[in-house]
Amino acid sequence: MIVTTKAIVISAIKYGDTSLIVKLFTESDGVKSYLLKGVLASKKGKLKKGYFIPLTQLEIVATHKGKGTLESLREVKLSTTFKTLQTDVVKSSIALFLSEMLVVSLQEEEANPALFKYLEKAFIWLDSNGEIANFHISFLIQLTAFLGFYPDDSNIEAPYFDLAEGEFVLSLYNEVMEGATVEVFKQFLNTNFDTSKQIKISRNVRAHLLQQLIRYYQLHLSDFKKPKSLDILQQVFG
């Protein structure tokens, strides 16, 4: 089946000397993987390697066989031209980290229009805004709503957040978020990128909150692997 759809680049892995295997989150079919033969050697082909930098937003024409094998791309063009996301060192570090988080978080080969729209708007916001220190925290918290484990804030006045149960609690049973970290975490709930950038937070607390969020993902997603780029991101903000 030939499909025309928007897509967001999640990852690109070198295959052999001249090819790439790219994973895209498509608007039409969710996560799809494609084999791009010879793309690293070709200078005149329709498929340029520059299109496949993580979080790049594309319009593609693809052949989807739907048999669990690698699909193929016929045509690719940019749907959004980023101005700073891939050139600003802080933003590109955030992009690399978030792309790794998406690789382990997004697995379904089925359409999810609401999630696609969220990702599309989120990365356009990151590209066009300057105050971005809280972006990745806000992004990961909001993303949990689409993954099925958004924090239950019905008991938000409680002093601990139970990472395994995803709710605020009065007593310690499982791993919890507590102290200054949980108080800042509460401020992020039910906010958007514009409001969350106004939250005042120290570097140490932000770093600890990020580590706690990654642990939260680990407890709620099977086969979760800690992003390799986390250390780079912490250095950028440290």
Q: What is the Cα–Cα distance from 68 to 77, expressed in whole angstroms?
A: 25
Q: Label residue 9 left, alpha or beta by phi (over 0 means left) and psi (-120 to 50 means alpha).
A: beta
Do 66 and 110 lie in one domain? The reply is no
Domain count, the chain: 2
Model pLDDT, residue 115: 98
Note down the domain range covering 46: 2-78
- Domain boundary pick from 78, 111, 135: 78
In this structure, the answer to whether residues 194 and 108 fall within a common structural domain is: yes
| CA–CA separation, 14 and 100 (whole Å) | 16
Q: Is residue 84 part of a domain?
A: no
pTM of the model: 0.94
CA-CA distance, 50 to 131, in Å (whole number)? 26
Burial readout 24-49 (b: 16 or more C-beta within 10 A, e: otherwise):
bbbbbbbbbbbebeebeeeeeeebeb
The total of other beta-carbon atoms located within 10 Å of residue 95's CB is: 24
CATH number at residue 37: 2.40.50.140
Tens of pLDDT along the chain (238 residues) come to 999 999 999 999 999 999 999 999 999 999 999 999 998 887 777 788 899 999 999 999 999 987 778 999 999 999 999 999 999 999 999 999 999 999 999 988 899 999 999 999 999 999 999 999 999 999 999 999 999 999 999 999 999 999 999 999 999 888 999 999 999 999 999 999 999 999 999 999 999 999 999 999 999 999 898 898 988 888 887 6
Q: Indicate whether 198 and 104 sit together in one domain.
A: yes
Q: Which residue has the tokens 């972006």?
A: 135
Long-range contacts of 219-224 (CB under 8 A, 24+ apart): 219/163, 219/164, 219/175, 220/144, 220/147, 220/148, 220/149, 220/166, 221/104, 221/105, 221/147, 223/104, 224/104
